[in-house]
Amino acid sequence: MANQTQAGFLPGFETTFITRSELSDEGLKAIQERLNGVVAQYGGELVLSEDWGKRKLAYAIAKETRGHYTYFVYTGKGDVVHEIERNLRLNDQVLRFLSVNLDKEFDQESFKKARADQQAAAKRREEEREARREERMAMMGDRGDRGERRHYAPRHTESTETASSEE
């Protein structure tokens, strides 16, 4: 399979892994460097790496309720994913990982651009949502004569706050 790809474009993959929240920054760095070594060994290169920070897990994994997410995109031939996953599996600080095959002929530049656009769009949507919420809160505040509806407002903010804290 790897032999069939055109010269210049290698297959692209992305991997997200979750480490225990108490793992030190040095420990995480060691894992990342090890994975970078694997990518280099297989003739690929690291396209981008994102640190999502510590997040609350939607459910407990190995009795942990929080985890540190790291996401990275890389290229490489054939077995690179197998080797990356083997390395992650060996480390017991890693709670969970997920690799996704992106493209057989991976174009790094367009991927980076698409990812940036996507993040910008998500951010814009978030801002719009925030603005709408504020507008609605202001509207509800104006109509003091309809007092019984006011209880909708705090309940709503509460539910959104819990949602955002889970991220």
Partner 1 sequence: MAYNREDKMDSMDQGDDKDSRRSPSFHRKKGCRFCLDREFVMDYKDVRMMQSFISEHGKITPRRISGNCADHQRKLTSAVKRARNLALVGYVSSGHFGH
Shortest gap between Cβ of 18 and partner 1 (angstroms)?
Answer: 7
Shortest gap between Cβ of 133 and partner 1 (angstroms)?
Answer: 9
Shortest gap between Cβ of 16 and partner 1 (angstroms)?
Answer: 6
Site string for partner 1, 30-69 (x = CB under 8 A): -------------------------x-xxxxx---x-x-x
User: What is the spatial order of strands in the sheet that 46-61 belongs to?
Assistant: 46-61, 64-75, 12-20, 94-103
Q: Within 64-123, which residues bind partner 1 (CB under 8 A)?
A: 65, 67, 69, 71, 96, 98, 100, 117-118, 121-122
Q: Torsions phi, psi of 79, nearest 5? A: -85, 10
Q: Is 142 in the site for partner 1 (CB under 8 A)?
A: no
Of 5 and 21, the one with the shorter C-beta distance to partner 1 is 21
Of 29 and 56, the one with the shorter C-beta distance to partner 1 is 56
Q: Are 77 and 51 in contact (CB under 8 A)?
A: no
Q: Are 9 and 105 in contact (CB under 8 A)?
A: yes
Please give the full DSSP string across 37-92, using - where no structure is assigned.
HHHHHTT--EEEEEEEEEEEEEEEETTEEEEEEEEEEEE--TTHHHHHHHHHHH-T
Identify the residue whose tokens are 């104006």. 142
Tell me which residues touch partner 1 (CB under 8 A). Answer: 16, 18, 55, 57-61, 65, 67, 69, 71, 96, 98, 100, 117-118, 121-122, 125-126, 132, 136, 152, 156, 159-160, 163, 166-167
